Amino acid sequence: MQNNSQELYTAYQDMTQKAADLQFAAAVLGWDQEVYMPSKGFAHRGRQLATLATQAHELLTNDSYGNLLQQLAVADGLTDVQQNNVRLSLEDYEKNKKLPPAFVEAITMQTSASYNAWLQARNENNYEVYALQLAKMIELKKQQAQYYGYKAHPYDALLDEYEKGATVAMLDPVFAKVKEQLPPLLDKIKNATQVNNDFLHLHFPKQEQWDFSIDVLKKMGYDFNAGRQDYSEHPFTTSFTPEDVRITTRVDENNFASLLWSSIHEGGHALYEQGLPVAQYGMPLGTAASLGIHESQSRFWENCVGRGYAFWEFFYPHLQQYFSQQLGGIALKDFYKGVNQVKPSLVRTEADEITYHFHVLIRYEIEKALIEGSLAAKDIPATWNDLYYKYLGIRPDTDKTGVLQDVHWSHGMFGYFPTYSLGSFYAAQFFEQAGKDIPGLTAQLQSGDLAPLLHWLRGHIHEYGRRYTSEELCKKITGKGLDFASFKQYAEKKYSEVYEFK
């Protein structure tokens, strides 16, 4: 019986990995589409991606695969790892089975069309160029929610794709705390003397910025033999195996913050992917726990580490060697304060750690309205601008710095944005716990030794893949589930030092 179970598991593994081969082949085409592909390639690229997505979907939803999973679910003789892979694959099978192949093909084709329209609209700074294709994508996402089914709100079905178990009923209280507890901290900052970051907006040549970002990524532990960095319109990370994980960034020669922290952020994502078990390629335990946990890794490195004083005690002298003319007269303390300036801004990816969550809140409220049908695609810009004024007191004057700044909706990624805030809140808890678990962590950061911190993340998060939900993993690491209080405490301590208030 045990031998038979292993034979069945081998057959399951073969089918699952073949589907993964198709999915990752599509991912390579998707990466090329955003990095190198010429503009005339969009029409056929959409077809190619749709073909691969449909074939992978058919493999993972056919009856023989489902029967195999059902047999394995009650089989004896499987290891703990094997049992967890089967359990999670069966959950995925039952969910994937709800989507007809024709729908998978349609939404994949629409993704390519929507992305092309977004890119053109962004280049022309004109939302109208994008509106029709976005409306088509929104209708498909509403349809997807109906296919999946939901108990309370149609948006719940889409949230679950990125953060298992997440619902509007769960997230509304989290964002209520954002609206209630962050404004008092913002008021203290507004009443303090504003820190200066004018030096970040001098001229920083593209190549020197790039070279310094590579130095930082190497120090973080990003393996360039298993990855690369390129430019794209919107920074992203894509993974084909733990031994091929690629990141992109973007550059502004008059805004030093644009490239570096995007690289660090995406580097955090990439370190997670490079740390997943290679032996579990194509199977659930070879994938990330959730998008919330994934975002915790990027925000952990970008903010808790990459905007921390100890980090810059090591890296700042090296940065000054690259940019002696721009930064030679700027003291470390002033640089640290400048890169942590809190000020309402229009662009989410360049927002500070406090106002950032209002950017996410705005997108969350718009997505809920779109999926429930109370907001139409044509009305998004006006709603977007009104919400920016409501929460941040500023109003976009162009579509590019407003509704066109994010690529996510063109890809149909409705339900993704809340994970950015969840990730930040998890990151604060994980960083707090790492400080307790790693003797001399601050001194290690001050000396540029980031290896012990990466080792801690590997052992506490990366190696488990999808074995645990976000809440289960957080409890395993910190002894409690998601706790906004940890983020609030982290933010108050940090910014009381930056802005020198009690």
Q: What is the pLDDT of residue 43?
A: 78
Q: What is the pLDDT of residues 435-492, one digit of tens each?
A: 999 999 999 999 999 999 999 999 999 999 999 999 999 999 999 999 999 999 999 9
Calculate helix-pair angle for 154-162, 418-437, nearest 10 degrees: 40
Q: What is the pLDDT of residue 173?
A: 96
Residue 3 binned pLDDT confidence (cut-offs 50, 70, 90): low
Q: What is the pLDDT of residue 455?
A: 98
Q: What is the pLDDT of residues 115-165, one digit of tens each?
A: 999 999 999 999 999 999 999 999 999 999 999 999 999 999 999 999 999
What are the tokens at 113?
Answer: 């069309």
For the chain, what's the residue count? Answer: 502
Instruction: Give percent of the chain with pLDDT exceeding 90.
Output: 94
Q: What is the pLDDT of residues 342-364, one digit of tens each?
A: 999 999 988 999 999 999 999 99
Calculate helix-pair angle for 356-372, 154-162, nearest 10 degrees: 130
167-189 burial: b if 16+ Cβ within 10 Å, else e? bbebbeebbeebeeebeebbebb
Say whether 14 sits in a helix, a strand or coil. Answer: helix
Instruction: Give percent of the chain with pLDDT exceeding 70.
Output: 99
Nearest to 58 by CA among 104, 17, 13: 104
CA dihedral 385, 403, 370, 174 (to 10 degrees): -70
Residue 311 CA to residue 444 CA, distance in Å, equals: 9
59 contacts 65 by C-beta, under 8 angstroms = yes
State the chain's mean pLDDT as an integer.
96
Nearest to 220 by CA among 291, 311, 296: 311
Q: Which residues, other chains included, contact 165 with Cβ-Cβ below 8 Å and sequence gap of 6+?
A: 469, 470, 471
- Whether the pLDDT of residue 1 is over 60: the answer is no
Mean pLDDT, range 326-351, rounded to an integer: 95
**Any idea which residue has 């073949």 for tokens?**
18
Q: Which ranges of 149-255 does DSSP label H, i.e. alpha helix?
A: 154-162, 168-191, 206-220
Hey, which residues does 229 pair with through a beta bridge? 247
Model confidence, pTM: 0.92
State yes or no: is 233 an active-site residue: no
Q: What is the pLDDT of residue 197?
A: 96
Q: What is the pLDDT of residue 349?
A: 84
Residue 478 CA to residue 59 CA, distance in Å, equals: 39
Domains, the chain, with CATH or none: 2-149 (no CATH), 168-498 (1.10.1370.30)
- Whether the pLDDT of residue 265 is over 70: the answer is yes
Q: What is the pLDDT of residues 267-305, one digit of tens each?
A: 999 999 999 999 999 999 999 999 999 999 999 999 999
Say whether 248 sits in a helix, a strand or coil. Answer: strand
Catalytic residue among 105, 163, 266, 471: 266
- Across the chain, how many H-helices and E-strands are there? 21, 3
- Whether the pLDDT of residue 409 is over 60: the answer is yes
Q: What is the pLDDT of residue 50?
A: 87
- Whether the pLDDT of residue 2 is over 70: the answer is no
Kindly report the three-state secondary structure assignment for every residue of 431-465. HHHHHHHCCCHHHHHHCCCCHHHHHHHHHHCHHHC
Nearest to 227 by CA among 213, 209, 240, 215: 240
Amino acid identity at 223: D
C-alpha dist (Å) from residue 88 to 58, 244, 285, 377, 415: 18, 24, 9, 35, 21
Mean pLDDT, range 79-101, rounded to an integer: 96
Mean pLDDT, range 161-173, rounded to an integer: 94
Q: What is the pLDDT of residue 208?
A: 98
233-256 burial: b if 16+ Cβ within 10 Å, else e? ebbbbbbbbbebbbbbbebeeebb
Mean pLDDT, range 414-437, rounded to an integer: 97
